[in-house]
Structure 1
Amino acid sequence: MASTLTADLPRAVDPPAILPAAAATPDATDLSLFVEPLGEGRARMDFAVDGITCAACMPVIEQGLAREPGIEEARVNLTNRRLTVRWREAETTPQRIVQRLSALGFRAFPFDPKAVEGEEVREARFLLQCLGVAGFAMMNIMLLSVSVWSGNISDITQEQRDFFHWVSALIAVPAVAYAGRPFFRSARMAIAARQLNMDVPISLGVLLAVGMSLVETAHHGTHAYFDSAVMLLFFLLAGRYFEQLMRRKTRAVAGNIAALKAETAVKLMPDGALRQVPIAAVAAGDRVLVRPGERVSVDGLVVEGRSSLDQSLVTGETLPQEVTAGDAVYAGTLNLSGALTIEVRAAAKGTLLDEVTRLLETALEARSNYRRLADRAAALYSPVVHLTAICTLAGWILAGLAWQQSLIIAITVLIITCPCALGLAIPAVQVVASGALFKANVLLQAGDALERLAEADTIVFDKTGTLTLPDLAAEGTADIPAADLAMAAGLAAASHHPLARALVAAVPNALPLAEAREETGRGVVAMIDGREARLGSLAFCDAEAEGARVAARHPDASLIAFRHGETCHVFAIRQQLRPDAEAVVAALSRAGLQLEILSGDRPEAVAPVAAALGIPVARGGLKPADKIERLDALKAAGRKVLMVGDGLNDAPALARAHVSMSPITAVHLTQAAADAVFLGDRLAPVADAVAVSRTALMLMKQNLWLAVVYNAIAVPIAIAGWVTPLIAALAMSGSSVIVTANALRARHGRL
């Protein structure tokens, strides 16, 4: 007998489902391979769930499973349609969970991020194909309609009208059959599970409009509604494709962290030999060697060697950190100069990178319970629409009207209340607002980002790469003689140290000196005009005195020295504030937003930035868990936080915050955890995002009210039988035009 996992696979004509390749094989029926034991008779498993179309599906799944014996918790992540279930092994099994989900109208498979990503790409392609078919059919049917009505109506013969109607039918029927599959399939699954979702009235409205048009055409009627049915499909498909693209952007991306994880390590064996082994073969207490230019593969303590580490992606620390024996190092950091021997504390599991991943996943699951405005409205709308149509049919039959006429009136009610205006109320504003934000260099990555951005009353900034530009810059180079600056830049071009790269950026045409040599951990030296030239640490260049004077003027900067004979210069290297940071922060403060800085950088580097921008609360030296703790405290105080950050250590905080933004220069994991990404060197997109989103949320609510008022007026008239299906279709189209026109105002959001 076929398992639940394989018995209901989609046929070739069905739209793609989120179906891992393993699910198609008989071996995949052994779900115990995917179960994670938690101890004490409890277990956990992640499922990929096919059939989730909106946030209204989340409570159906979570509450439906919660009623099952043995299930302790069920959490749905809407962004990647992943279901996490914890249960007591003595009372239930994963097979029973799959069967229960099937009874609820959803198909479930073991979660495989790579398979999910591939299926979502295919699903996006399928929606785009449906959208193209609906658009082609809509344009051709509208062209036929214009041809029919462009002349004098009295000149059109019945035969000509019938011909154009049949041509329209030949276009519309196959187009609806193909392009309507995303809605028809979802509606079929909902009805099979005895549920109602927004796709049920959409499907009924489209099918009844086409059916009525065919009946009218067959009986030589004056009116047909093929264009209305196809137009409705086109706009709704556009909204669904747009949302699916954004949902793909916000799927769980913990796999991106693999770029920072080393697959192997150079292990020091007991006999003193070096052997490259898989990271899984490294245990606590072992010793590993990390050469210059390699990423540290483990968390541990340095036992031998001296080097500089770039920790910016992991801890948020701006400047390279000098480490020596006894200092702690973390997996994912980059070794810049000397070789290090590290005693392992954690390797494949338990590292800081694993902690970041765990925090990120937890935060994403917690935020995924947010329900969008349109979804909350749709949860009430669908049952009301069907109940109204059924009551209308029954009422007129009881009143003595023939069932055919009663059915026509009921269909008219369903058409006039068909959720075109409601379906467009939110997507239309999203499209316009997203276009306005795109012009402002903001790219939205979440379907509900606009709503959550509008609700934000507190903004928490990371410092490094967020309030500051991502690249280091040298201070005071204009005061250095051009010849000395050129020599220093030539030495810097021969080094891989990030402080040296900042100096090279100050002299765009700098070329590395051929005779320059780099002394590990100290600097670069070369002979120029018969005298030795050095670039590097203060001690290497004998520049402590000059360095003390520069450090007094720039206490938050790193120093790099240059010496050529008796000539000595010390450069202050640090990150620069974004050009408009001060003006943007002031505008946000005037708009009533509470501002804070939470940074992994040193407190002494954070304080000057906070003072320059006038941000009252600033904390430095924070780990990812510390940032989450502060965000949770703000949430407990009733604040809705917009988190803006760019480092790997910011990813969990971005996911935990009410809403989040990240610059395009951020690491991939951080960008994927954010709800929006902004481009360029300016901070203005953050203020624009808040302004446009506030306007957009206001317009969304207005559009929903317009749809309600429209139905309050139109439905009673339709129930009374005073409206024909044609007038119902025109009224439905008119309500769509109104909400679309209102949505255009989202282009002009201002703080």
Structure 2
Amino acid sequence: MPATAAISSTRSETVTLSAPTIRCGGCVATIERALAALPDVESVRANLTLRRIVVTPVPNSPGLMGIFAELERIGHPATPIDAADLSVEAGDRTGQALLRAVAVAGFGAMNVMLMSVAVWSGATGTTRETFHLISALIAVPIVAYAGRFFFVSAWAALRRGGVNMDVPIALAIALATGLSLYETVRGGEQVFFDAAVTLTFFLLIGRWLDHRMRDRARSAMTGLVRLAVREAVEITPSGGQRTIAVDAVVPGMVLRIAAGERIPVDVRIVSGATDLDRALVTGESSPVSVRTGCEIEAGALNLTGPIDAVVLRPVSESFLAQMMGMLATAEEGRGRYVRIADRAARLYAPLIHLLALATFIGWMAVTGDWQQAAFIAISVLIVTCPCALALAVPVAHVVAAGRLMAEGILMKDGSALERLANIDLVAWDKTGTLTTGEPAIRVLPKLDAASQVAVASLAARSAHPAARAIASRLAVPGTAPVDVAERPGFGVEGVIDGRRARLGRESWVGEIAADVMTGDGPAFAFEGGEMLRFPLDEKLRDGAVDSVSDLALMNLPGEILSGDAAPAVAQVQGLLGLRGAQSAMSPADKIAWLDDLRAQGIRVLMVGDGMNDTAALATAHVSMSPASASEAGRAAADLVFLRDDLRAVPQAVGVARRTGHIVRQNFGLAILYNCIAVPLAVAGLVTPLIAAIAMSASSIAVVANSLRLNPRAVANAVPDAMFREVPA
């Protein structure tokens, strides 16, 4: 049972950095603009959901110190990490800190609100001033502690001469608190401590819920982390054992893997036999028996017996690590929607401040009351925070990546989702993609008992694929003793019960047969006897018929692009009911065909597996490849499906279309929110408290809408069977 080969990456040498300060689309835009301007950087992508930066330095660059210095300067210090490391410990600490801040702010909001009720009930003079002072003593330290998430982020942005989405929030909270302190000192009648603390409370609730929902959105990635083994047991050359960190494992080492342990890296068994849970690859929890010589993927669970296995690849190149890497790229592609969101996030913060300033000046001109004008400007600052817009695309893409993984499909480029949703036609390679490449008997000729035993005996002693197909189709309890001579290129000859018999090429078998029977497939005859033919069909890959049918229901016709001869291609076309077929095509012919369709505005999904499909996979609008494909084919494809079943193709198209629909809905929600909330805030009809609730609700609505892609698949993006441990 060969293991699924490691899935190649399309990326050149890159450096992955962890940047915990990435909190919004503005942070992503700032980082990418700053690093792209450096001469030592070839490309850069910032990932909002994982809070990481992927940098590709120019060849022979002097080092990374300039990159780290620039990130420090713009307020986003970063540290290098393993690209396959999706640890969420930092994320968990952030969530715990947010939850503590929510609790503190909630406590303060309740107490300050009690003071405010007393003032609203008619307290005057010294009593009112005392309540104001007590409110200040409660509110100021609570705002400083609980609001530090906004203040620290905003100060980092302002210190480098820029703005982010926390600047208007921090400014609003600081203004509300500062105005209240001013009124308390001068003995004023109105303070806004209740608004400042309650505003902080609701903003933190929104941020914590957003944090939790993002964690849920990337549960497919964090689930894979649970499969990663930290240590391995090496069998030393002297026969002893020692425990080493999995990062120290190198190809050629021999590891001992006990029952109940997960496979740490891709290995080949050299001693022992066991049963495996390979749900990571197949999605099926049924145990699979393996023995000496079998290759196993990292992450599989050893169920029944200890095995010794030689390491095939380092942990950074293992099947599990590459799955993690592909999921991490889910939001890094830059399709049309992502570019729109990036531009909007880049312009949003300056526009917010200009709008708030204009609102303040307008109300001052109308009323002459600077406190009321400031109060309304604060509401504008809060209500217009563009978090919902910044989350519209990346969260949907991360959820979609989890959904695809649940179906056994890995996405190597985030922009592939958008391209896959817009395809007009599916082009299929034939051999190895639509078919398994193994022949199958179309129909058995009528065989008497002697002929049946003779054919089975000859076929069983040949390694030719056609002979194996015949042997597997014949239900013969045993074979006759026979002296076999195999003639390469002709067939198999033997003497059975004193009679010479041949199985193979028609012209060769016809030399001993009484007649020649025309047709296709291998021929058989006893010397002087009647010739029989075994017509062959190519065996269709599992799900091929359903896949083509499902795609047709999506209004996606299919065509075959194959280098095989026309009759074989036409046969598969007829079996599947495809619209067209191109035969005897060279790799250059496939590229020319795809280029011609592109010139006509037709967007093609190419599905292929072979070395000769590599150029076509790279040329097509979007491409898919099975994990069993050649290394070059997997490297060129945008998506890789792990199972043999071709129904992965329509499943991926369906998820992509649904994701595009969700992204458009998210944009609509964000735009609708701003169209309603901003005019109301400018008109003075929204208090800072209501603005905080509305702003948080808009962000949560966008994340919740993205989770509708498939709540069950996202919550359990990695099958439960993958995490089942063997009872002690």
TM > 0.5: yes
- One-letter identity of the residue aligned with 1:420: C
Give matches, 1:357-372, under 5 Å. 371-372=335-336
Give matches, 1:708-719, under 5 Å. 708-719=671-682
User: Contact 1:543 / 1:570 at 8 angstroms: preserved in 2?
Assistant: no
Q: What is aligned with 1:502?
A: 469
Distance in 2, Cα, partners of 1:94 & 1:701: 41
How far the C-alpha of 1:689 sits from its partner, in A, is 3.4
Give matches, 1:119-268, under 5 Å. 119-122=82-85, 124-125=86-87, 128-136=88-96, 200-201=164-165, 204=167, 223=198, 224-225=201-202, 226-236=204-214
Label 1:392 to 1:547 Cα distance change in 2 as closer, same or farther (>3 A). Answer: farther
Q: What is aligned with 2:384?
A: 417
Q: Equivalent residue of 2:82, what SS?
A: helix
Q: What is aligned with 2:610?
A: 647
The one of 583, 597, 600 aligned to 2:560:
597
The one of 563, 571, 576 aligned to 2:534:
571
Q: What is aligned with 1:690?
A: 653
Distance in 2, Cα, partners of 1:744 & 1:528: 67
Task: Report whether the alignment pairs 1:729 with 2:689.
Answer: no
Label 1:627 to 1:437 Cα distance change in 2 as closer, same or farther (>3 A). Answer: same
Q: Equivalent residue of 2:680, what SS?
A: helix
Q: What is aligned with 1:661?
A: 624
How far the C-alpha of 1:593 sits from its partner, in A, is 3.5
Label 1:684 to 1:95 Cα distance change in 2 as closer, same or farther (>3 A). Answer: closer
Task: Report whether the alignment pairs 1:626 with 2:593.
Answer: no
Give matches, 1:381-396, under 5 Å. 381-393=345-357, 395-396=359-360
How far the C-alpha of 1:601 sits from its partner, in A, is 2.3
Give matches, 1:10-49, under 5 Å. none
Task: Report whether the alignment pairs 1:448 with 2:420.
Answer: no
Distance in 2, Cα, partners of 1:693 & 1:446: 13
How far the C-alpha of 1:600 sits from its partner, in A, is 2.4
User: Contact 1:470 / 1:575 at 8 angstroms: preserved in 2?
Assistant: yes
- One-letter identity of the residue aligned with 1:649: N
TM-score of the pair, normalised by structure 2: 0.57
Distance in 2, Cα, partners of 1:493 & 1:166: 87
Distance in 1, Cα, partners of 2:109 & 2:480: 79
How far the C-alpha of 1:705 sits from its partner, in A, is 1.5
Distance in 2, Cα, partners of 1:419 & 1:445: 29
How far the C-alpha of 1:652 sits from its partner, in A, is 2.6
Q: What is aligned with 1:475?
A: 442
How far the C-alpha of 1:708 sits from its partner, in A, is 0.6
Q: Aligned pair count?
A: 544
Q: What is aligned with 1:295?
A: none
Q: Equivalent residue of 1:466, what SS?
A: coil
Label 1:662 to 1:100 Cα distance change in 2 as closer, same or farther (>3 A). Answer: closer
How far the C-alpha of 1:373 sits from its partner, in A, is 0.7
Q: What is aligned with 1:345?
A: none
Structure 2, gaps ≥5 residues long:
1-11, 48-52, 75-79, 119-130, 182-191, 225-331, 712-728
Task: Report whether the alignment pairs 1:610 with 2:577.
Answer: no
Distance in 2, Cα, partners of 1:478 & 1:414: 82
Distance in 1, Cα, partners of 2:575 & 2:589: 24
User: Contact 2:395 / 2:703 at 8 angstroms: preserved in 1?
Assistant: yes
User: Contact 1:47 / 1:83 at 8 angstroms: preserved in 2?
Assistant: yes
Distance in 1, Cα, partners of 2:487 & 2:145: 74
Q: What is aligned with 1:699?
A: 662
Label 1:693 to 1:572 Cα distance change in 2 as closer, same or farther (>3 A). Answer: same
Distance in 2, Cα, partners of 1:544 & 1:415: 93
Distance in 1, Cα, partners of 2:562 & 2:645: 19
User: Contact 2:219 / 2:402 at 8 angstroms: preserved in 1?
Assistant: no
Q: What is aligned with 1:340?
A: none
Q: What is aligned with 2:322?
A: none
Cα distance per residue 1:643-670 (max 9 Å; x no partner)? 1222222233222211122234433442
Distance in 1, Cα, partners of 2:414 & 2:590: 25
User: Contact 2:562 / 2:585 at 8 angstroms: preserved in 1?
Assistant: yes
Distance in 2, Cα, partners of 1:241 & 1:436: 10
Q: Equivalent residue of 1:652, what SS?
A: helix
Q: What is aligned with 1:374?
A: 338
Q: Equivalent residue of 1:375, what SS?
A: helix
Q: Which has the larger Rg?
A: 2
Label 1:212 to 1:465 Cα distance change in 2 as closer, same or farther (>3 A). Answer: farther
Q: What is aligned with 1:426?
A: 393
The one of 464, 467, 479 aligned to 2:431:
464
Q: What is aligned with 1:637?
A: 600
Label 1:583 to 1:232 Cα distance change in 2 as closer, same or farther (>3 A). Answer: closer
Label 1:496 to 1:513 Cα distance change in 2 as closer, same or farther (>3 A). Answer: farther
User: Contact 2:557 / 2:579 at 8 angstroms: preserved in 1?
Assistant: no
Deviates more, 1:464-473 or 1:399-408: 399-408
Q: What is aligned with 1:37?
A: none
Cα distance per residue 1:407-462 (max 9 Å; x no partner)? 77666544433333224433454456556656666554432233212211122221
Identity rate of aligned residues, in percent? 33
Q: Equivalent residue of 1:643, what SS?
A: strand
Distance in 1, Cα, partners of 2:43 & 2:633: 23
Distance in 1, Cα, partners of 2:465 & 2:448: 23
Label 1:379 to 1:475 Cα distance change in 2 as closer, same or farther (>3 A). Answer: same
User: Contact 2:515 / 2:531 at 8 angstroms: preserved in 1?
Assistant: no
Q: Equivalent residue of 1:121, what SS?
A: coil
Deviates more, 1:128-137 or 1:454-463: 128-137
How far the C-alpha of 1:570 sits from its partner, in A, is 3.9
Q: Equivalent residue of 1:464, what SS?
A: coil
How far the C-alpha of 1:381 sits from its partner, in A, is 2.9
Distance in 2, Cα, partners of 1:671 & 1:370: 21
User: Contact 1:643 / 1:654 at 8 angstroms: preserved in 2?
Assistant: yes
Distance in 1, Cα, partners of 2:373 & 2:636: 53
Label 1:219 to 1:710 Cα distance change in 2 as closer, same or farther (>3 A). Answer: closer
Q: Equivalent residue of 2:534, what SS?
A: strand
- One-letter identity of the residue aligned with 2:207: A
Q: What is aligned with 1:673?
A: 636
How far the C-alpha of 1:707 sits from its partner, in A, is 0.6
User: Contact 2:480 / 2:496 at 8 angstroms: preserved in 1?
Assistant: no
Q: Equivalent residue of 1:131, what SS?
A: helix
TM-score of the pair, normalised by structure 1: 0.55
Label 1:219 to 1:188 Cα distance change in 2 as closer, same or farther (>3 A). Answer: closer
User: Contact 1:105 / 1:189 at 8 angstroms: preserved in 2?
Assistant: no
How far the C-alpha of 1:406 sits from its partner, in A, is 7.3
Cα distance per residue 1:622-662 (max 9 Å; x no partner)? 23333222212211221111112222222332222111222
How far the C-alpha of 1:731 sits from its partner, in A, is 1.1
Distance in 2, Cα, partners of 1:491 & 1:211: 89
Q: Equivalent residue of 1:227, what SS?
A: helix
User: Contact 2:382 / 2:691 at 8 angstroms: preserved in 1?
Assistant: yes
